[in-house]
């Protein structure tokens, strides 16, 4: 007896007729509202046309943690980060936007036949938490969406409405379960047992039932398998269940492999694996003229020679694959060994460079030794040391020249105090440098190219600068 919750066929037909006769003047609207995870989508449909639609999206769900911020706050652990504050604000803003939209759609809800709403968990507060929105929505027939809804978008709202407004029906087909009658020699107990045997698909019972059917065929030689078109035979069930032995026995008993079931498929097309298909092909190789194998959708015969050839090819293929894997393994080991050797050589080179640097540092610290290979830093240090050495030599040379100059001046002053004016003139002439000596250090300029400054001659630029300073001091 049918349940009262089901709609009778006549009532369903009348509903469909009324739907086809509905006027498309915005007087029979249907509304779809979807909201979840900070997404909202709303559409107003007049038949298959969209009258109005609107979508919103706000960041309200905590990243990688799921759950809205309000749900997290309800647990008592209130966060005070910038992200949590932003999510709270977005949640309130989204609620305000949705409620304002529903209030603005009040004319649509007044002429709406029904409204399909998807708002799981606390998302319903967004639609019904408000006097205005609650009064607007409850003015029409509210229905839940009996489908799996993905992220609320305009495309998803269209898909949901399309599935809700489509009618799917199927014609009642005859059952695939068949029983084979027994002859009069079967006892009454066996007859009652035979009537209760039915063929089940994809289960262990189907195999046992098909075995019983095979036994009945063996006992009743005069009974042939059903040959009518578009019906399921035990051969269909055996092929679909994956029992190769039972399939072969049914073929040997004479069941027609050309018969198609209600869906137009032969037993070969229902084979669940390759072994079942090979069973049909082997039987075809032994009985080429028994059936129309083209009508049975069996592509070709499978002989023993073909199977041996296929096995040999597969073995050769496996051997090549194994050899290739072995070669790749050997290449991998060689590559790893080469990389290790490179790393070892690199480490040795680094160690040798370090030892050479240390040796160079030791050689630079020894006087009179100059390293063959120097780093840029060592070269700079050597240049700085050379510059300091030259400056020290120049200072020493200037000091010696100054001492000689002071000695000459002291001798000159002593000569002036102990002699007459002519004698002083003669001593001054003796102390004065001649034309072939340096004006600063009185060194001989014989064999040298002197440096000239005014009427003075110098053996070097150092003496020239020193004499210039002495003249300025005087």
The predicted pLDDT at position 474 comes to: 64
- Mean pLDDT of all residues in 314-340: 90
Nearest to 52 by CA among 148, 125, 157: 157
* pLDDT at position 54 over 90: yes
Q: Which domains does the chain have, with CATH numbers?
A: 16-164 (3.30.420.60), 230-308 (1.25.40.20), 377-415+427-473 (no CATH)
> How do residues 293-320 score in pLDDT, each as one tens digit?
888 899 888 888 888 888 889 889 999 9
Q: Which pLDDT band, with edges at 50, 70 and 90, does 417 fall under?
A: low
Q: Give the C-alpha separation, 25 to 186, whole Å.
A: 71
- Full-prediction pTM beyond 0.95? no
Q: Which pLDDT band, with edges at 50, 70 and 90, does 124 fall under?
A: confident
> How do residues 147-172 score in pLDDT, each as one tens digit?
889 999 999 999 999 988 877 666 66
- The residues facing 50 across adjacent strands are 45
SS3 content of the chain, % helix, strand, coil (to 5): 55, 10, 35
- The residues facing 42 across adjacent strands are 33, 54
Q: Which residues are catalytic?
A: 69
In this structure, what token pair is assigned to residue 424? Answer: 């002083």
Q: Which pLDDT band, with edges at 50, 70 and 90, does 39 fall under?
A: very high
3-state secondary structure of 254: coil
> How do residues 365-407 score in pLDDT, each as one tens digit?
555 555 556 677 788 888 888 888 888 888 888 778 777 777 7
What backbone phi and psi angles, to 5 degrees, belong to 351? -65, -40
In this structure, what token pair is assigned to residue 87? Answer: 């999510």
Say how many residues make up the chain: 474
């Amino acid at each position: 007896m049918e349940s009262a919750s089901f709609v009778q066929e006549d009532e369903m037909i009348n509903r469909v007729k009324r739907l086809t006769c509905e006027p498309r003047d915005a007087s029979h609207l249907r509304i779809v509202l979807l909201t979840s995870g900070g997404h909202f989508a709303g559409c107003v449909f007049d038949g298959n046309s969209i009258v109005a639609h609107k979508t919103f999206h706000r960041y309200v769900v905590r990243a990688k943690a799921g759950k809205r911020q309000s749900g997290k706050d309800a647990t008592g652990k209130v966060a005070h980060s910038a992200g949590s504050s932003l999510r709270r604000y977005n949640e309130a803003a989204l609620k305000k936007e949705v409620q304002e939209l529903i209030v603005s759609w009040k004319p649509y809800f007044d002429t709406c036949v029904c409204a399909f709403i998807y708002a799981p968990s606390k998302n319903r507060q967004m639609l019904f938490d408000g006097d205005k929105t609650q009064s607007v929505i409850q003015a029409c027939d509210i229905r839940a969406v009996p489908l799996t809804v993905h992220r609320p978008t305009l495309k998803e709202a269209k898909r949901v409405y399309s599935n809700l407004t489509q009618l799917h029906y199927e014609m009642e087909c005859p059952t695939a379960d068949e029983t084979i009658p027994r002859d009069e020699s079967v006892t009454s107990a066996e007859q009652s047992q035979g009537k209760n045997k039915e063929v089940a698909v994809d289960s262990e019972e189907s195999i046992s039932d098909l075995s019983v059917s095979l036994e009945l065929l063996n006992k009743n030689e005069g009974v042939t398998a059903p040959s009518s078109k578009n019906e399921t035979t035990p051969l269909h069930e055996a092929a679909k269940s994956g029992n190769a032995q039972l399939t072969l026995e049914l073929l040997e008993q004479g069941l027609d492999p050309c018969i198609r079931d209600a869906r137009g498929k032969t037993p070969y097309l229902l084979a669940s694996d390759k072994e079942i298909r090979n069973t049909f092909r082997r039987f075809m190789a032994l009985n080429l003229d028994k059936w129309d194998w083209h009508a049975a959708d069996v592509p070709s015969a499978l002989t023993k020679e073909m199977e041996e050839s296929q096995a040999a090819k597969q073995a050769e293929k496996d051997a090549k694959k194994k050899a290739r894997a072995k070669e790749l393994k050997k290449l991998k080991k060689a590559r790893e060994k080469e990389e290790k050797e490179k790393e070892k050589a690199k480490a040795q080179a680094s160690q040798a460079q370090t030892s050479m640097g240390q040796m160079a540092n030791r050689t630079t610290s020894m006087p009179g030794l100059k390293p063959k290979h120097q780093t840029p830093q060592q070269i700079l240090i050597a240049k700085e040391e050379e510059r300091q050495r030259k400056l020290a030599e120049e200072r020493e040379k200037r000091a010696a020249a100054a001492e000689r100059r002071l000695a000459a001046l002291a001798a000159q002053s002593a000569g002036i105090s102990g002699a007459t004016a002519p004698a002083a003139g003669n001593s001054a002439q003796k102390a004065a440098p001649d034309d072939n000596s340096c004006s600063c250090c009185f060194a001989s300029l014989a064999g040298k190219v002197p440096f000239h400054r005014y009427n003075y001659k110098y053996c070097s630029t150092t003496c020239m600068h020193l004499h210039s300073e002495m003249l300025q001091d005087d």
